[in-house]
Amino acid sequence: MQEIVLSTEFITTFLVFLVTVAVIVGLVIYERKPRQSLDPKMLPSTALMLGVGILSLLTLVHLVNLLGIHTGR
């Protein structure tokens, strides 16, 4: 188990997972800020949150598969 956690593939996937979670948290904070004007925001935070959330879910499944738990057939 320890050699799996110390592998380059696991570390890279875990870092990508952490980055995607951080981006989601940042987008939630950005979306929840009160608006100062009625101009539309230049960043489509809901669409980005959906895309990054899907990527985060895929990296989480990959991490679980790397640990030896089979999630598919």
> What would the mean pLDDT of 21-26 be, rounded to a whole number?
97
Does position 16 have pLDDT exceeding 80, yes or no? yes
Alpha-carbon separation of residue 11 from 16, 23, 33, 53 (angstroms): 9, 18, 33, 19
pLDDT in tens, 24-40: 999 999 999 888 888 88
Provide the 10 A C-beta neighbour count for residue 56: 20
